[in-house]
Homo-oligomer: A and B are copies of this chain.
Amino acid sequence: MSVDQLRLWARLESLSRLTDPDRPWTRRSFTSRFLEGRAWLAAEFRAAGLETAIDAGGNLIGRIEGTEQGLKPILIGSHSDTVPSGGRYDGILGVLAALEVAQSLIESGTRLRHPLEVVDFLAEEPSEFEGLSCIGSRAMSGALTPQHLALRRADGMSLEEGIAYVGGRPAEIALSARRPGSIAAYLEVHIEQGRVLENEAKPVGIVTDIVGIRRERITVTGRADHAGATPMPLRSDALVGAARLIEAAYGRALATSGDEQPLVATFGKIEVSPNAANAVPGEVVMTLEVRSGNEAAVSTFGTALVRDVQPELAALRLAVTAEPISNVAPVACAPAVRTAIADAAKANDLGTRDLPSGAGHDGVFVSRLGPIGMIFVPCLDGRSHAPEEAIEPGQAADGARALAGAVSLLDERLD
């Protein structure tokens, strides 16, 4: 099965250009621009020979039946919505690579044993409904709750109404959700959104895990004092304590770089009060975000950091507390799927690199239904969720080739 690089690239160009003209490359979920993209996609799906429909949760699905009765479907795809001002390839590469694989199969006369479904999941990116993401994959996997459906965006529209607006049937979501074990596998091609593959000149990344993400609010409390009238030994400078935590977190996370499941720790958000040039900082509130495929490492990092640095902070006359904000468990990619991707890449002479996905994806929810895997391709300078996001036609095609090969192998290997 060969992949048509020119056709894939032409489709990437066509769909990405369906953008809000004043802020490329934007196609936000639940907008008329999104429906424009969906209409174009549905027409392409049908022209390629896919049986195309929108499911209850608002996912656009194109299907080819398999040759053997009773086998579960193999799902391939991604999403066609974007964040504001970013996402030229984030999402649509996975949908269009999947379409290319399906069309190549049809055109080559190859029939798979399993049904094959090309899925454009609804609203993978944080939506206007209080930032809820992965709406379509949540719906498909039974994880979209009535509370979610009641969320309203600023103009008053509810998510329930939003799903109907894009052609879903919200009333049927609960009953039509797929059951655990109901899919043979799910594979997604996606840009890496980082620089690992580019730095190592590897065309294919085999995702090991979609990392768990834990956020904690770390508060360092000292005492706000007049910066002129308070000698150094009498200070309780909360920012000095915060600096110690920032350095310790960086050092500890950096030390896991060689691990099989490395961890990243980020103090990305920090608020200092009173935040005046002539005031000793009295309080610092920071968000610690920890991500890793290693669930135990994610859940203990913040607690251990605070516990170990606390004596140093006490010596600086500072108190420190940590409260959890959110916690999402990591999801491991299935060994069978990872192996199929590796074998397919090898057969195509594509070098590979195992790496975690540091960002969340629909696979987190689809993993409830069956084994998942992800294929990463390099993107220019790791830029993503920004207008500069860029890939080369050959990089897109490499991802599609690895996907095509992995689908063929899984179709042979799985029941």
Contacts and interface: CB of A to CB of B under 8 A. Distances in A.
Given A237-B250, A239-B246, A227 B270 contact: no
Contact of A229 (B213, B240, B280, B382): B382
Given A228-B359, A243-B243, A275-B270, A233 B250 contact: no
A243 B227 CA distance: 19
Interface stretch (A72-80, A171-179, A259-267): A259-267
A194 B231 contact: yes
A253 interface: yes
A281 B227 CA distance: 26
A208 interface: no
Interface in A267-323: 267-270, 272, 274-281, 287, 289, 291
B382 A225 contact: yes
Contact of A233 (B211, B237, B254, B289): B254
A247 B253 contact: no
A382 B228 CA distance: 12
B250 A247 contact: no
A193 B246 CA distance: 31
A276 B281 contact: no
Interface residues of A, number: 59
A192 interface: yes
A232 interface: yes
A27 interface: no
A277 B359 CA distance: 13
A226 interface: yes
Given A226-B359, A246-B239, A247-B240, A232 B281 contact: no
A230 B267 CA distance: 14
Interface string A389-402: 00000000000000
A116 to B, nearest CB: 29
Q: How many copies does the complex hold?
A: 2
A371 interface: no
Contacts of A213: 228
Contacts of A23: none
A408 interface: no
Contact of A276 (B226, B268, B279): B268
B291 A287 contact: no
A233 B257 CA distance: 7
A193 B289 CA distance: 39
B226 A384 contact: yes
A346 interface: no
Contacts of A262: 231-232
A275 B268 CA distance: 6
Given A243-B242, A243-B243, A382 B230 contact: yes
A385 interface: yes
A62 interface: no
A227 B358 contact: yes
A195 interface: yes
A250 B254 contact: no
A259 to B, nearest CB: 11
B246 A240 contact: yes
Given A231-B257, A233-B257, A277-B287, 18 more contacts: A194-B226, A194-B230, A195-B234, A213-B228, A226-B359, A226-B384, A227-B264, A227-B289, A227-B358, A229-B357, A232-B254, A232-B264, A233-B254, A239-B267, A243-B247, A266-B277, A268-B275, A269-B272
17 contacts: A192-B229, A194-B234, A211-B228, A226-B385, A227-B268, A227-B291, A227-B358, A228-B360, A232-B256, A237-B250, A239-B268, A240-B246, A242-B243, A244-B247, A266-B280, A269-B277, A277-B287
